Structure 1
Amino acid sequence: MPQKSLSTKEESILIEKATLHLKWLYPGAKAVADKPVLVFLHDSLGCIKLWRDFPEQLAKATGCSALVYDRQGYGESSPFQSIKRGQDYLEREADVLEQLLEQLQVTKAILFGHSDGGSIALIAAAKYKSRIAGIITEGAHVFVEEVTLAGIRAAVTAYQTTNLPEKLQKYHGDKTDDVFHAWADTWLSENFRNWNIEHYLPSIRCPVLVIQGEADEYGTQAQVEAIETQVQGPAQQLLIPEIGHSPHREAKYVVLSQSAAFIKAILL
């Protein structure tokens, strides 16, 4: 049965000279020792608060403890050292995740990654097999598509002409410009056109649930097919009609129920 109560704890931790802000969610008074921890990896403009109550709902539905954190540069974590990113910036974030879980003594994790967070989850599952029991990706990318670039160009226009900066400032404060340009400038640069992480996929042995909206403005079903067909662990896809890049917000209860079922199967 789903847990009725949830306790929370917020803390900060130092990883590679950056202070990362964390939020723990416990389906009871303390961590659940015999189950993997659900770890939520936000998108390229996201943070803990932008997940809203989705992590809480999934923790309650599965009885698992959950960890949500702001990557460096986002939310309440330390600012970026530089907004200039190399092609390996997502690989570096997977390494930071491994250090974070090691320091927190999380020996088994199930990752839920949205967009950039989904790509990080894939890399982490490939590189750190013993720690990752399963992954759920949502709008993840494994290569660059023209629709991705078109979506980012549209976001740049919105950032220049609408109140999008003010909306993001509620979550990122004076880091907002850096958050936006670290994402947009990197993906629209010429040297990022050949970015590709498909070579990691055959090293993934854990169960994988690949979620994507059929109307995703940043990627096509080719991303889903690439992931599902190349990972070596059991994989399934969830394509949701008329939904864009954020299924956990646009089709919350579908994503919640399917994710919970996927996690419970791992727990058996």
Structure 2
Amino acid sequence: MSEAFAFVEVDWAGRTVCIEHRWIAPERTTAPLIVFLHEGLGSLAMWKDFPQRLCDAALCRGLVYSRPGYGRSTPRAAQEAWGLDFMHQQAHVVLPAFLHAVGIDPVAQAPWLLGHSDGASIALLYAAQFAQAIAGAIVVAPHILVEELSLTSIAAARTAYLETDLRQRLAKYHDDPDSAFWGWNNIWLHPPFREWSIEAEIEAIRCPLLAAQGMDDEYGTLEQIHGIARRVPQTELLELSDCGHSPHRDQAERLIAAASAFITQQTGDKP
């Protein structure tokens, strides 16, 4: 069973931020740990029951959290704009600080990372930077470069936020929906961000890697995961038909089956 969410404090960018998190099946003390990294508009709550279902299928522990700016974690400061390196900051600074704050030594007990969208890119950046501090990664609808399709859909999301009930719907999952939405939307649509790419950096990844994407993804083409496979030879690909940008919602059973089999394949039958 999952524990109720809790908070820890970390120092980031010159201030203290609180990060909400929840453990899944902490009683499986010797089992692999999966850390879940949400999408650009996501949060702990927006995963719904997917982390629990995957952890049960794979007999793993889980740790789900909301990055600063999202969910019940500390919102963005007023007028704070994220930089072109915002995903690097999350991978190289915030995630390691968060793991330390909750008592995880990732070298002694290397976690698995499962990330979706921006969270998947963060997982890739962490894996490239901290080769000795990760057991493996599952990246779902990752971004390794900026495509016109992505920008078109993100611009459409801006219109929806301004003109429809999207803000009210996001308010169910974020204490400050403006913090979550504009932090993500403004940087992705910032003209210099068109040149953003992590294609070269991910070549340093050495851990087992499963890259999954829906074939109807409205935020990226299959070139995103094919590009990963060309640069990280051990990558296994999962292309999901009848599936958009959120495989954990559109094709949850297929993703859970593939992800749990991949983890078991890498870890054996250890409980």
Which category describes the TM-score, using the shorter chain as reference length? Answer: over 0.9
Q: Does 1:136 align with 2:138?
A: yes
User: Per-residue displacement from partner, 1:87-117 (whole Å, max 9, x unpaired)?
Assistant: 1110100121112223322421111100000
Shift of 1:83: 3.8
Shift of 1:120: 0.3
User: 1:248 — aligned with what?
Assistant: 248
Match of residue 30, structure 2, among 34, 55, 73: 34
User: 2:211 — aligned with what?
Assistant: 210
1: CA distance, partners of 2:17 / 2:2: 26
SS in 2 for 1:84: coil
User: 1:78 — aligned with what?
Assistant: 74
Q: How does 1:1-268 map to 2 (within 5 A)?
A: 6-16=1-11, 17-26=16-25, 30-81=26-77, 82-95=79-92, 96-103=94-101, 104-106=103-105, 107-173=109-175, 175-232=176-233, 234-268=234-268
Change (3 A) 1:229 1:76: same
Unaligned runs of 5+ in 2: none
1: CA distance, partners of 2:74 / 2:170: 16
SS in 2 for 1:56: helix
Unaligned runs of 5+ in 1: 1-5
SS in 1 for 2:132: coil
SS in 2 for 1:171: coil
**Which residue identity lines up with residue 151 of structure 1 in the other structure?**
S
**Which residue identity lines up with residue 235 of structure 1 in the other structure?**
T
TM-score (norm 2): 0.92
Counterpart contact for 1:109–1:131, Cα < 8 Å: yes
Shift of 1:178: 2.0
> How many residues align structurally?
258
**Which residue identity lines up with residue 76 of structure 1 in the other structure?**
R
Counterpart contact for 1:83–1:181, Cα < 8 Å: no
Counterpart contact for 2:18–2:73, Cα < 8 Å: yes
Counterpart contact for 2:24–2:52, Cα < 8 Å: yes
**Which residue identity lines up with residue 138 of structure 1 in the other structure?**
V
Shift of 1:32: 2.9
Shift of 1:154: 1.1
Shift of 1:7: 4.2
2: CA distance, partners of 1:225 / 1:7: 35
Shift of 1:229: 1.4
**Which residue identity lines up with residue 38 of structure 1 in the other structure?**
I
Which of 153-162 and 210-219 deviates more?
A: 153-162
Change (3 A) 1:139 1:7: closer
SS in 2 for 1:170: coil
What is the aligned-residue identity percentage?
38
1: CA distance, partners of 2:198 / 2:56: 33
The CA RMSD measured in Å over matched residues stands at 1.3
TM-score (norm 1): 0.93
1: CA distance, partners of 2:28 / 2:201: 31
